[in-house]
Structure 1
Amino acid sequence: MRVPGLAVPDLTVRDRTAVELMDDPGCDLAALERTYAQFRAVNAVVAGWQWAYRRHVRPLLRADRVTTVLDVGSGGGDLARALARWARRDGRRVEVTGIDPDPRAHAWATRQPPVPGVGFRCAGSGDLVAEGRRFDVVVSNHVLHHLDEAALRALLADSRALARARVAHSDIARGAWAYRLFRVGTRPLASGSFVHEDGLTSIRRSYTPAELAAAAGPGWRVERPWPARNLLLDDGPAPDGVG
């Protein structure tokens, strides 16, 4: 039986053609900035990064040396700031760099109150590879579903080139209940920002665990912390002093 208000579109196939409003260079800037502002609360509920931090990032952090973390596609910067706060709470030393090629995201992130150990650049992952940069840990949140197949392969190759010890890309796992719950839970945010509409588009664009594993290829593994999440992981050889 179909429950009124809970019907979902066909999610059996990933929707590669749907475009998020915030990805439009000409979208309403005020609505975009309200979206960035709301990401911290929304991601705290849906992204599960406290769990991912405890399981996959914190074990690499040290109190006696600085661990470098790169947040790719950092958007409004909420994950970069959160990682630095959690590490400081745990007595660990980190430097987190958030990069985003969208100047609108970079401008918003750098206007926010500074957090010790966090910096931002308007750049893409390929720019840092070209510079020969390396980081102990490379992460991203809700980036993978934005990318077409070629861009995904490029990001994963860049991530391996940039990371000394670990890569952790967290994203939505496509599914009917994720769609239903997000639609109901974010309805109050439907006016004045892109969170509600773009979130539903994101779910349609996102991968199932099997699809993501196949797209990523050999050496990558997908963990599923809970039904609506994918965590794509790759561990390189840890350098001296890390791990």
Structure 2
Amino acid sequence: MTLPDLRTRDRTAVELMDDPDCDLPALERTYAQFRAVNAVVAGWQLAYRRHVRPLLREDRVTTILDVGCGGGDLARALARWARRDGRRAQVTGIDPDRRAHAWAARQPPVPGVDFRCAHSSDLVAEGLRFDVVVSNHVLHHLDEPDLRTLLEDSRALARARVAHSDIARGAWAYRLFSWGTRPLAAGSFIREDGLTSIRRSYTPAELAAAAGPGWRVERPWPARNLLLDDELPGDALPGDAPAGDGPR
């Protein structure tokens, strides 16, 4: 395998799934594979334990927004983990891509999860608020202006915490993903787009610089960036907060 030049972020690379005319069956197979791949590489169980579970309550519903939810695997996982822990959560997954929304909405329903075809700015315009705002593998898709818009929207939408998880660019991430996803390559975009994603992704220092003041980058998992908003009150949610005014 020839390793590409990973010293700088490849802003020009385009993922196949972002093409509005891409092969729909391959795209839907890609959505179907996200759950297994993300369970291995995304490290969300650790991020959930550290940054989401402390906000969950037995006596009130904690509202969670998953931005750019794709096939909805993270939204469903967060609801399952909260229910396993005896906590009450309402998770809303949004994605502006109608193909992603249609696929997510067709999957077997999970209690406490709903999906909308929407952009984060649409929810800001509606005046909606959520206790927690998260995303997975969204940041590397964005150019700098769109990244700033997402971060501004996240702060406007979140009461207590923002946690955006993404790939950290590096040679080992590229090699391991290339090797580990070979069995999934046929009839899917998962391998080719995953490698493109790594080329497009930020190093921790690049992401911290792009996000700006008030944002902090953690490394919770090898080859992962977790961008957190340090200007929100964290787990200091008001005890009399409503059960959530996000969409049901």
Same fold (TM over 0.5): yes
Q: How many angstroms apart in 2 are the aligned matches of 1:210 and 1:147?
A: 17
Residue in structure 2 matching 1:227, options 202, 209, 222: 222
2:7 alignment partner, SS class = coil
Asked if residue 94 in structure 1 is aligned to residue 92 in structure 2, the reply is no
Q: How many angstroms apart in 2 are the aligned matches of 1:213 and 1:227?
A: 17
Aligned residue type for 1:230: N
Give the corresponding residue for 2:244. none
Q: How many angstroms apart in 2 are the aligned matches of 1:63 and 1:106?
A: 30
Give the corresponding residue for 2:144. 149
Give the corresponding residue for 2:20. 25
Residue in structure 1 matching 2:53, options 58, 64, 86: 58
Indicate the larger mover: 102-111 or 218-227: 218-227
Give the corresponding residue for 2:130. 135
2:9 alignment partner, SS class = coil
Give the corresponding residue for 1:239. 237
Q: Percent identity?
A: 86
Give the corresponding residue for 1:162. 157
Deviations 1:123-143 (A, max 9, x none): 000000000000000000000
Give the corresponding residue for 1:75. 70
Asked if residue 35 in structure 1 is aligned to residue 33 in structure 2, the reply is no
Gaps of 5+ in 2: 242-248
| C-alpha RMSD of matched pairs (Å) | 1.1
Deviations 1:29-56 (A, max 9, x none): 0000000000000000000000000000
Q: How many angstroms apart in 2 are the aligned matches of 1:53 and 1:31?
A: 30
Q: CA deviation at 1:201?
A: 0.0
TM-score, L = length of structure 2: 0.94
Q: How many angstroms apart in 2 are the aligned matches of 1:195 and 1:74?
A: 16
Q: How many angstroms apart in 1 are the aligned matches of 2:114 and 2:221?
A: 31
Could you tell me whether the CA contact under 8 Å between 1:165 and 1:242 is conserved in 2? no
Q: CA deviation at 1:242?
A: 8.5
Q: CA deviation at 1:227?
A: 3.1
Aligned residue type for 1:13: T
Q: How many angstroms apart in 2 are the aligned matches of 1:207 and 1:138?
A: 20
1:104 alignment partner, SS class = helix
The list of structure 1 runs, each at least 4 consecutive aligned residues, that deviate by more than 2 angstroms after superposition, is none
Q: CA deviation at 1:226?
A: 2.8
Aligned residue type for 1:80: A
2:217 alignment partner, SS class = strand
Give the corresponding residue for 1:175. 170
Asked if residue 10 in structure 1 is aligned to residue 5 in structure 2, the reply is yes
Gaps of 5+ in 1: none
Q: CA deviation at 1:239?
A: 3.4
Aligned residue type for 1:113: P
Could you tell me whether the CA contact under 8 Å between 1:63 and 1:93 is conserved in 2? yes
Instruction: Give the number of aligned pairs.
Output: 238
Give the corresponding residue for 2:246. none
Could you tell me whether the CA contact under 8 Å between 2:131 and 2:158 is conserved in 1? yes
Q: How many angstroms apart in 2 are the aligned matches of 1:170 and 1:59?
A: 18
Could you tell me whether the CA contact under 8 Å between 1:71 and 1:80 is conserved in 2? yes
Q: CA deviation at 1:189?
A: 1.0
Asked if residue 117 in structure 1 is aligned to residue 112 in structure 2, the reply is yes
Q: How does 1:184-203 map to 2 (within 5 A)?
A: 184-203=179-198
Could you tell me whether the CA contact under 8 Å between 2:168 and 2:198 is conserved in 1? yes
